[in-house]
Amino acid sequence: MTSGDTVTHERVDHFTMRGTEISVPCAAVFVVREDRIALWRDYFDMNTVIKQMTAVGVGAHA
């Protein structure tokens, strides 16, 4: 989705930890100026990451 010079993008990042895939839903916000990314921010729920890491036996401390 775009609004002026701002682009939002939703995706799911996948990581393998101890042989098990974990999936993290993310949202990104880009600000584009002169055909280049001037600002890039990723947003995700850390609790989702910690729960999945804990489930595969990887310690996670927030």
Please state the pTM of the whole predicted model.
Answer: 0.73
Ramachandran area for residue 55 (φ above 0: left; ψ -120 to 50: alpha; else beta): alpha
pLDDT(38) > 70:
yes
Asked, for residue 40, whether it belongs to a domain, the answer is: yes
Residue 24: pLDDT over 70: yes
Q: Name the percent of the chain lying above pLDDT 90.
A: 71
The count of domains in the chain is 1
- CATH number of the domain enclosing 45: 3.10.450.50
d(CA 24, CA 37): 23
Q: Which of 12-21, 22-31, 50-59 has the lowest mean pLDDT?
A: 50-59
Average pLDDT, integer, range 47-51 = 91
- Is residue 60 one of the residues assigned to a domain? no
Helices (H), 1-62: 46-55
Beta strands in 1-62 (DSSP E): 2-3, 6-17, 20-33, 36-44
